[in-house]
Structure 1
Amino acid sequence: MSSYVTDVSAAPSEIALAHFEARLTFEADCWDVHDAMRRGLKDFVLLDVRGPDAYQKAHIPGAVNLPYGKIIERKLSDWPKDTLFVVYCAGPHCNAANKAAVRFARLGRPVKELIGGMTGWADEGFPYAHGVEEGQLEQVA
């Protein structure tokens, strides 16, 4: 007798390795983002892709706000084409980060999704910021 866990065998190691390495090319986790930002490593742009009202209410410190529907090349022109954007939204129940990632990919821009978004950030116990941060993009309606 076996459990539901073992009813389907685990993938061979080389296939598992390819799968999990590939996932890391699409995702960043909250701890890694927090650690990089805490240490001042600015090798990516953290982008909150929710609307301006949600951003002002609470967002991840250091994040730039650009709603996913407003992601166009003109809005990204201040960043070099090889800039990595890490996008997030409200959390696992929200697909705005996925929609933003699609837009970045269509524009030929590197992108990763922040796993868990705002919910994941809160689950890690990290603080939120409020209002609009200095250096913020123009507010878009």
Structure 2
Amino acid sequence: MSSVIHRVPAAASAQALAHFQARLSFETDCADVYYATHHETKDFVLLDVRTPVLYAAGHLPGAINAPTRTLNEQRLAEYPADTLFVVYCAGPHCNGANKAAVKLAQLGRPVKEMIGGLTGWIDEGFGLERHA
């Protein structure tokens, strides 16, 4: 008898390649965001889409607080149309980043979700900024 893993066959390699390559178009991870912000030219805007109170209590260094309800053309007008936004929220238990990504895509803006959110960032051992 096969394991529960084998009971549903794996996709063909070509399908798996297409699937996993496509996922990278929609998401990034905490380690890549950390590396990009510390070792490369930061060519994206990092958006913390949680409430201002949670943002003040601790957020990723360099992140801008922009709750989803505040995302509109006027708020984004200072950024060129091709600006890539990377959104995050509290963590895997929160779909706030997904909602913000939908909103940004509806506004015609390039967007990726940072998987893991704040929880993932902390789990990786990266520090936070705090505002009083």
TM-score by length of 2: 0.97
Quote how far apart the aligned CAs of 1:66 are.
0.6
The amino acid of 2:23's aligned partner reads: R
Match of 1:18 in 2: 18
Rounded Cα–Cα distance in structure 1 between residues aligned with 2:38 and 2:62: 10
Q: Count how many residue pairs are aligned between Structure 1 and Structure 2.
A: 132
Quote how far apart the aligned CAs of 1:41 are.
1.7
- 1:87-125 CA-to-partner distances (Å, cap 9, x unmatched) read 000001111101100100100000000001000001100
Rounded Cα–Cα distance in structure 1 between residues aligned with 2:64 and 2:36: 16
Report the secondary structure of 2:86's partner residue. strand
Alignment of 1:60-99 (within 5 A): 60-99=60-99
- Decide which structure has greater helix share: 2
- 1:55-83 CA-to-partner distances (Å, cap 9, x unmatched) read 00000001011111110010001110000
Rounded Cα–Cα distance in structure 1 between residues aligned with 2:127 and 2:56: 14
Report the secondary structure of 2:6's partner residue. coil
Which segments of 5 or more consecutive residues in structure 2 lack a partner in the other structure? none
The amino acid of 1:60's aligned partner reads: L
Rounded Cα–Cα distance in structure 2 between residues aligned with 1:83 and 1:125: 28
Report the secondary structure of 2:4's partner residue. coil
Match of 1:49 in 2: 49
Report the secondary structure of 1:25's partner residue. helix
TM-score by length of 1: 0.91
Match of 1:123 in 2: 123
